[in-house]
Amino acid sequence: MPELPEVETTRRYIAPYVTGKRVERVIVRAASLRRPIPPELTAKLPGRTVRAVERRGKYLLLRCDKGTVILHLGMSGHLRIVPADTPPEKHDHLDIVLSGGLSLRFNDPRRFGLALWTDSDPMQHPLLAGLGPEPLEKGFDGACLYRKSRSRLVAAKQFIMNSRIVAGVGNIYANEALFRAGIHPAKAAGRLSRPQCELLADAVREVLLASIAEGGTSIRDFSLGEEKPGYFALRLNVYGRSGEPCPSCGAPIQQARQGGRATYFCRQCQK
């Protein structure tokens, strides 16, 4: 699943192509995504100009002069910038055709993504209104985590993956942040000390920034649609490394299941 760094990488790649462009038309080839693409998207988006491309958690926002497109990549979705006359491929469900001859094309093999329209403040949309602070912005720090963790019995990993606690921290980066902070993923959030919360907040920020700087764990050339391996995937300390030596102490990395997700950790380094 695309995580926050991949979504931020997507935002940075598509923004220069779509910002300031007028939407000529919207082509919907398959409306049945996680939620059906609403008719408002095809009725109201043409004629609008995209003023900015923003991110909130794992959601992308195409802010227009009037109204906003809310996009989510789901489990397997991705966006490409292609010439408007490029023949669609399998799973190319949506085209936003822009002035200047390019299209923003949404491909989603598993159809768990979203493409929605709102005339109102998108931050008040039900999908966004309950999100916690952005991990890369002011408002997210150790004090925030410590305050929200009191009396919580949920495991530390599930705690930081809760989008109401902090927006956009997915499985890969939760594993990596907990390793950096030296915190066992199964430790109850309510047992985290203030210094541990400080370490964890810093670790979340550091691992996300490092991944964004290297293009996420999977990057794409959005102007050509060519998928390439992400460089950060080569530098993961624990995720996907079950049985391999811990980069800090040499003990074998352990694997477990938490909340239906694979969890990776070092018994020696994480307490």
Q: Which ranges in the chain are annotated with CATH 3.20.190.10? A: 4-129
Q: Report how far residue 25's alpha carbon sits from residue 256's, in angstroms, rounded to the nearest whole number.
A: 48
User: CA geometry: angle at 186 spanning 180 and 187, to 5°?
Assistant: 80
Which pLDDT does position 235 carry in this prediction? 81
Structure tokens at 190: 């309510």
**What's the full length of the chain, in residues?**
271
Beta bridge partners of 94: 28, 106
Spot the catalytic one: 25, 111, 241, 261: 261
Beta bridge partners of 68: 63, 118
Asked about 257 being catalytic, the answer comes back as no
Phi and psi at residue 135, in whole multiples of 5°? -70, -15
Low-confidence ranges of the chain (pLDDT < 50): 219-229, 231
Domain 4-129 of CATH type 3.10.129.10: no
Q: Report how far residue 184's alpha carbon sits from residue 264's, in angstroms, rounded to the nearest whole number.
A: 10
Q: Report how far residue 122's alpha carbon sits from residue 31's, in angstroms, rounded to the nearest whole number.
A: 21
Asked about 2 being catalytic, the answer comes back as yes
Which pLDDT does position 233 carry in this prediction? 63
Asked about 195 being catalytic, the answer comes back as no
Structure tokens at 68: 């906003």
Beta bridge partners of 226: 221
Phi and psi at residue 217, in whole multiples of 5°? -85, -10
Which pLDDT does position 4 carry in this prediction? 92
Q: Cβ(23)–Cβ(97) under 8 Å? A: yes
Which pLDDT does position 30 carry in this prediction? 92
Phi and psi at residue 242, in whole multiples of 5°? -55, 130
Q: Which ranges in the chain are annotated with CATH 1.10.8.50? A: 142-265
Asked about 3 being catalytic, the answer comes back as yes
Which pLDDT does position 216 carry in this prediction? 63
pLDDT single digits (tens) 31-84: 999 999 999 999 999 999 999 999 999 999 999 999 999 999 998 899 999 999
Which pLDDT does position 232 carry in this prediction? 63
Spot the catalytic one: 44, 55, 56, 58: 58
Which pLDDT does position 228 carry in this prediction? 45
Among 3.30.830.10, 3.40.50.300, 1.10.8.50, 1.10.3720.10, what is the CATH number of 142-265? 1.10.8.50
